[in-house]
Amino acid sequence: MKASAFVYPWDVNGDPEAPARIAALGTAQVTLASAYHSTRALTPRHPRHRVVTAEHAAVLYPAGEDRWSGRALRPYAAGDWAPGDAFGEAAAALTDAGLEVHTWVVLAHNSRLGAEHPSTSVVNAYGDRYPWAPCIAQPATRAYLTGLAAEAAVRPGARGTELESLGWYGLAHLHAHDKTAGVGLGDAGQYLMSLCFCPSCRDGYGARGLDADELAASVRTALEPVWQGAPSDGGWAGVASLLGETPATVTRAWRDETARTLQEQAVTAVREEAPEGFQVLLHADPVSYHCGANAGVDPAHILSVADGVVVPCTGGPGSLTPFAREAGPDTVLAANFTVVSGMGGSPGTLAADAEEARHLGATELRLYHAGLASDGDLSTVRSALAAL
pLDDT in tens, 38-59: 999 999 999 999 999 999 999 9
Within 8 A by CB and 6+ apart from 219, the residues are 125, 192, 195, 243
User: Does 272 score more than 80 pLDDT?
Assistant: yes
- Does residue 26 sit in helix, strand or coil? coil
pLDDT band per the 50, 70, 90 thresholds, residue 185: confident
Sign of CA dihedral 56, 61, 64, 67: negative
- C-beta of residue 284 within 8 angstroms of C-beta of residue 336: no
CA distance 84 to 217: 48
Strand spans (E) along 29-184: 29-36, 39-42, 51-54, 58-59, 100-106, 121-123, 129-134, 160-164
CA distance 121 to 198: 8
User: Does 234 score more than 90 pLDDT?
Assistant: no
Within 8 A by CB and 6+ apart from 131, the residues are 111, 113, 114, 115, 118, 121
41, 382, 159: which is closest to 9 by C-alpha?
41
- What average pLDDT does this structure show over 264-268? 98
Kindly report each contact of residues 245-252 with a partner whose C-beta sits within 8 Å and lies 24 or more positions away, as own/partner. 247/210, 247/215, 247/218, 250/205, 250/208, 250/209, 250/210, 251/195, 251/205, 251/210, 251/215, 252/288, 252/289
* Stretch among 12-26, 231-245, 258-272, 345-359 having the lowest mean pLDDT: 231-245
CA distance 298 to 196: 20
Q: Which domains does the chain have, with CATH numbers?
A: 2-180+260-387 (3.20.20.80)
- C-beta of residue 134 within 8 angstroms of C-beta of residue 110: yes
CA distance 343 to 237: 32
- Residue 175 pLDDT: 65
- The two most distant CA atoms of the chain are separated, in Å, by 60
pLDDT band per the 50, 70, 90 thresholds, residue 229: confident
pLDDT band per the 50, 70, 90 thresholds, residue 173: confident
Question: How many Cα atoms within 13 Å fall on the side-chain side of residue 215?
Answer: 26
- Residue 180 pLDDT: 67
Provide the mean pLDDT of the chain. 96
pLDDT in tens, 101-143: 999 999 999 999 999 999 999 999 999 999 999 999 999 999 9
CA distance 317 to 367: 14
CA distance 85 to 87: 5
User: Does 177 score more than 70 pLDDT?
Assistant: no
pLDDT top residue among 70 and 172: 70
pLDDT in tens, 14-35: 999 999 999 999 999 999 999 9
